[in-house]
Structure 1
Amino acid sequence: MSKEIHLIDKDFVPYISEEKILSRVKVLSSQIRADYGSNNVLFLSVLNGSFMFTSDLMKSMNGEVELSFIKLSSYEGTSTSGKVHELIGLNQNIQGRHIVILEDIVDTGLTVQRVITMLQMQNPLSIEVCTLLYKPEAFKGDTAPKYFGFKIPNKFVVGYGLDYDQLGRNFNEIYQLKD
């Protein structure tokens, strides 16, 4: 794993290696496939942060799957603003469909709760959440993720799709803000 990195005015230390991430993604794909069997699942990836996780998860999934995207944001710098801003919406019929929302990280749960509320209006058969990272200490939402790669403390992280002011998404591993 790489050494410390510096982004803008912050230093970050190595936290989760690419090898551990990819191993956990394979476990998640197996869990999802076991739960849904041969049912065609619609994965709804929340951009921008989940793009790397989504790509690796899709490559690990066996059988038929569909993928669509939505873009919402509640972050400004290193902290959540508490307000979810819808940027790009879902443009397909999801009535009677199994939906799995893909997130890079669930901390307060505000973003994912907004997505769930939007989706429930369209009467899907089921909605579950799959996230690479879950911060239970920070969670304030109604629906905790059914599938998660790692439970982490309430500290800021970057890499593997996660950013600090749009930087750091390209790293293959995850870094934590240095104390």
Structure 2
Amino acid sequence: MNNIGEVLFSENEILARIKDIAQEINNDYANKSICFISILKGSFMFASDLMKNIKPDCEMDFLSISEFEGKSSTGQVQIKKDIDISIEGKHVILLENITNTGLTLSYLKKMLLARGPASVKIACLLKRSSVEKENIKIDYQGFQIKNNYLVGYGLDINQKFRNLKEIRHLQKVRK
């Protein structure tokens, strides 16, 4: 791991915060069924660990989008794989690993609201302190971060390092 920097959040810190988020969600939806929608690929680890702590009465689906190439945002959100289930009348929680600009979440929330759910909320593991561009509300937030490039726990650079159990600063890009 010669090109990966220091650990920003350890596996234990991540799992403890996710457990807290799950408890908040369980409290807020005590008598309601929830439909979770995980944004692939990055949020798969967050979604998996969160679901282990959520009450059984829930559904799970996935969507895949494209906004980034390497380290740069293209500024346009494209749906690569849409959800397979109907969300009409359901309480939806959108799961994202990191909010960079808010553009993706703003776009997806509007798209999902057009499908008639009872509600749409957002759970995000990492939120950049600079996220105010799209005025998006993160309902369940893990950690606030600065504008460093991070890898691990689902975060990648050119599809590498997603499998790390912790979140680290990336020092340089390996070809």
Measured in 1, the distance between the counterparts of 2:148 and 2:170 equals 7
Which amino acid letter does the alignment assign opposite residue 51 of structure 1? Answer: F
Pairing 1:83–2:76 present: yes
- C-alpha deviation, 1:79, in angstroms: 2.5
> What runs of 5+ residues in structure 1 fail to find an aligned partner?
none
- C-alpha deviation, 1:93, in angstroms: 1.3
Measured in 1, the distance between the counterparts of 2:9 and 2:84 equals 35
CA separation of 1:139/1:76 partners in 2, compared to 1, >3 Å: closer, same or farther?
A: farther
Measured in 1, the distance between the counterparts of 2:68 and 2:10 equals 24
Which amino acid letter does the alignment assign opposite residue 166 of structure 1? Answer: Q
**Number of residue pairs the alignment of both structures matches:** 172
CA separation of 1:138/1:79 partners in 2, compared to 1, >3 Å: closer, same or farther?
A: farther
- RMSD, matched Cα: 1.4
Task: Within 5 Å, give how 1:1-179 maps onto structure 2.
Answer: 5-6=2-3, 11-178=4-171
Measured in 2, the distance between the counterparts of 1:140 and 1:76 equals 20
Measured in 1, the distance between the counterparts of 2:82 and 2:99 equals 19
Measured in 1, the distance between the counterparts of 2:124 and 2:113 equals 19
Measured in 2, the distance between the counterparts of 1:41 and 1:97 equals 7
Measured in 2, the distance between the counterparts of 1:128 and 1:143 equals 10
Measured in 2, the distance between the counterparts of 1:24 and 1:130 equals 12
TM-score (normalizing by structure 1): 0.91
- C-alpha deviation, 1:5, in angstroms: 4.3
> What runs of 5+ residues in structure 2 fail to find an aligned partner?
none
- C-alpha deviation, 1:104, in angstroms: 0.5
Identity, in percent, stands at 37
Measured in 2, the distance between the counterparts of 1:171 and 1:154 equals 20
- Where has structure 1 moved over 4 Å in runs of 4 or more? none
Which amino acid letter does the alignment assign opposite residue 154 of structure 1? Answer: N
CA separation of 1:123/1:15 partners in 2, compared to 1, >3 Å: closer, same or farther?
A: same
Measured in 2, the distance between the counterparts of 1:12 and 1:73 equals 26
